[in-house]
Amino acid sequence: MSSNPTSPATAAMEAEIQRLIALQRRAHTAAMSPERAVRLDRLARLDAMIERHAAAFIGLIAADFGNRSRHEITLTEILPLRAGIRHARQHLRAWMKPRAVATALAFRPGRSLILRQPLGVIGIVSPWNYPLLLALSPLVGALAAGNRALLKPSELTPGFSAGLRAAVADFFAAEELAVINGDAQVGAAFCAAPFDHLVFTGSTAVGRQVAQSAAAGLVPVTLELGGKSPAIIDASCDLNVAIPRLAWGKLINAGQTCIAPDYVLVPRPQLEACVAALRAAMLRLYPRFEANPDYTGIINEHHLRRLLGLLDDARERGASIIELEAPRPGAAPTRQLAPRLLLDVDDGMRIMREEIFGPLLPILPYDSLAQAIDYVNARDRPLALYWFGRDRAGREQVLARTIAGGVCINDSLLHVAQDALPFGGVGPSGQGHYHGEFGFRQFSKEKPVFVQSRFSGGGMVYPPYRASMDKLLRYIGWLG
């Protein structure tokens, strides 16, 4: 989002956005409710596009990051996408079916039903951290629901964004699906365009601007944001089981994950053991960090400096920082930032006020589960919450007394891989959901329809009103 004067190139892209929306809206008007076969064909082409271009996408993403493992990209982006497409194709018939709902007794034998219709043209703004997954995952629901779509991938992954645009053009007509590339000014114009629904995935700060921009045109939005997702280690937890799962969730993509554990709450008596277990688990996953082909680089120098600034601020304010790997003298500089564990942190530190989005992990002791819950509830509602333990009562207490976009029990990240569960935030961490049927519904108008019977008794309440009307009204009220 930018307030700088519009350049000629940006003006040309703004015109192209408007042209494509008009093209897609005309096509939508001409075929407003595509048959199931049409939707299945679009989903099949999306799957074929991912399969054909998978190796190229992996190479482009790795280059944009400086280093990112092809195994990690396959595991976190390609496989979940294809699973989501498969899920949508399997369930599409049921999702499209009109839903009969109850009709009040007074209005029978009329019938009530809900029709799910495509909204029209969906705009999708995706971030850089999972550039393939977060561009195409909401698209699955949009196409299944019968919509057309424009994608605006991040300018921070220029190689991938260009590759995605070319791949989409190979498999889809522009009236079905197209990609717009450009800088922050182009992104601002995209978010102000007259879509029928806008999806934005990114930071909370930019999400606020996007919501304001879309509101000017009364464009409904789905905002998938972030925030500080807590992990709570319960006193009943088996650290040998829990800590490797927590470490994996924190360090995949070098912590550049919107649902990554942002800080850990640990029972005070277990603090030392937890720190030792986290250090050991992280080093088992990545015996070294610099020049490790399995360990992802920070996306660019700006974000690397931001993370180092968080560390400097915490250190100056009294935090104890545990480094897992010291920089090697004479080694070529890379953006592979080794993890740090932080102790003795407080709310005055930037690292406890800002979303970290990197391999830095504050660890805070607590004296009772109620205290840990109060700490979480005193902050913005997170996109994800993690609880590790074996005590059922403690688990139920955390579930009942906290609100988060999603919860994962005894593991990290994996709730987002379940196609039957919705994905989305709450409050500052987002609004709206997608994945599976929730995405289909998000990008549909659920149109209520009442079908009157030939034998309706409605005429009995038409004027002119007679003395018997009071008795009839009492009877209708009794019927409900």
pLDDT tens digits, residue range 97-121? 999 999 988 888 999 999 999 999 9
The model's confidence at residue 225, banded by pLDDT at 50, 70 and 90, is: very high
**Across residues 453-470, what is the average pLDDT?**
81
Other C-beta atoms lying within 10 Å of the C-beta of residue 398: 23
Task: Let me know if residue 168 belongs to a domain.
Answer: yes
CA-based angle 236:256:122, to the nearest 5? Answer: 110
Per-residue confidence band for 10, with pLDDT thresholds at 50, 70 and 90: confident
> 219 with 257, same domain?
no
Q: What percentage of the chain carries pLDDT values higher than 90?
A: 88
Residue 4, domain member (yes or no): no
The pLDDT of residue 71 is 98
Say if residue 212 is in the same domain as residue 257: no
112 and 14, same structural domain? yes
Q: How many CB atoms lie within 10 A of CB 66?
A: 16
Question: Domain range holding 54?
Answer: 9-225+430-446
For residues 135 and 202, the answer to whether their CB atoms sit within 8 Å is: no
pLDDT band of 480, cuts 50, 70, 90: low
pLDDT > 80? residue 48: yes
Q: Which letter does DSSP use for residue 88 in this model?
A: H
- Same domain flag for 179 and 282: no
154 and 288 housed in the same domain: no
Quick check: is 466 in a domain?
no
Is the pLDDT at 424 greater than 80, yes or no?
yes
Taking the C-alpha atoms of residue 27 and residue 175, their distance in angstroms, rounded to an integer, is 6
Q: What angle do CA 423, 400, 205 make, to 5 degrees?
A: 45
In a domain, 467, yes or no: no
Q: Please report the pLDDT score of residue 468 as a whole number.
A: 82
Whether 476 is in a domain gets the answer no
Regarding whether 190 and 237 lie in a shared domain, the answer is no
CATH number for the domain spanning 412: value is 3.40.309.10
Reading phi first (left if > 0) and then psi (alpha if -120 to 50, else beta), residue 411 is in beta
Residues 158 and 104 in one domain: yes
- Indicate the residue among 392, 424, 456 that finishes a domain: 424
Catalytic, 258? Answer: yes
CATH code at position 203: 3.40.605.10
Residues in Cβ contact with 430 at an 8 Å cutoff, skipping those fewer than 6 apart? 207, 222, 223, 224, 225, 383, 405, 424
Mean pLDDT over 123-143 rounds to 98
Of 258, 325, 354, 355, the catalytic one is: 258
**What pTM value is reported for the model?**
0.93
Based on the domain organization, do 175 and 320 belong to the same domain? Answer: no
Q: What is the dihedral of CA 275, 376, 226, 138, to 10 degrees?
A: 110
Amino acid type, 236: S
Is residue 224 flagged as an active site residue? yes
Same-domain check for residues 152 and 285? no
> Does 191 share its domain with 144?
yes
Query: Which residue of the set 224, 290, 325, 437 is catalytic?
Result: 224
Q: How many domains does the chain have?
A: 2
**Token output for 364:** 């805070």
